[in-house]
């Protein structure tokens, strides 16, 4: 997923949130590979009918995640607890994503304030 920073930025959803979700769900796309060694291109763990959705590219999955988050936020999921209640079965998902989000911010700030 290197060199896709611009794609995350054009989404209009906090890119740190999207990356934190991707890390939580799949170690940023490193957790899934099908039996034919093709990548799922699904860093966000999106599924349909209990099966992971397979995307043709990282860009396709980022676009889908972006649109999903916009839709959920537009319907009132305005914090991680509300988002997690819809997004994940794990009741600890909001705190896991929140902690990863803070870690990403700390790392980002460390680039500028060392």
Model pLDDT for residues 61-89, shown as the tens digit of each residue: 999 999 999 999 999 999 999 999 999 99
Q: Helix H segments across the chain?
A: 5-9, 15-26, 58-74, 80-87, 93-112
> Model's pTM, two decimal places?
0.87
CATH number for the region 5-112 comes to 1.10.530.10
As a dihedral over the C-alpha atoms of residue 63, residue 34, residue 23, residue 46, rounded to 10 degrees, the angle is 50
Model pLDDT for residues 3-20, shown as the tens digit of each residue: 788 888 899 899 999 999
């Amino acid at each position: 997923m290197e060199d896709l920073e611009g794609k995350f930025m054009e989404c209009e959803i906090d890119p740190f949130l999207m990356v934190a979700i991707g890390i939580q769900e799949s170690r940023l796309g490193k957790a899934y590979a099908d039996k034919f060694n093709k990548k799922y291109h699904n860093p966000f763990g999106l599924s349909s009918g209990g099966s992971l959705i397979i995307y043709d590219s990282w860009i396709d999955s980022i676009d889908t995640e972006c649109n999903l988050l916009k839709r959920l936020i537009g319907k009132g999921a305005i914090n991680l607890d509300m988002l997690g209640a819809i997004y994940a079965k794990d009741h600890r998902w909001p705190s896991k994503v929140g902690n990863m989000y803070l870690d990403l911010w700390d790392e980002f700030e460390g680039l500028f304030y060392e």
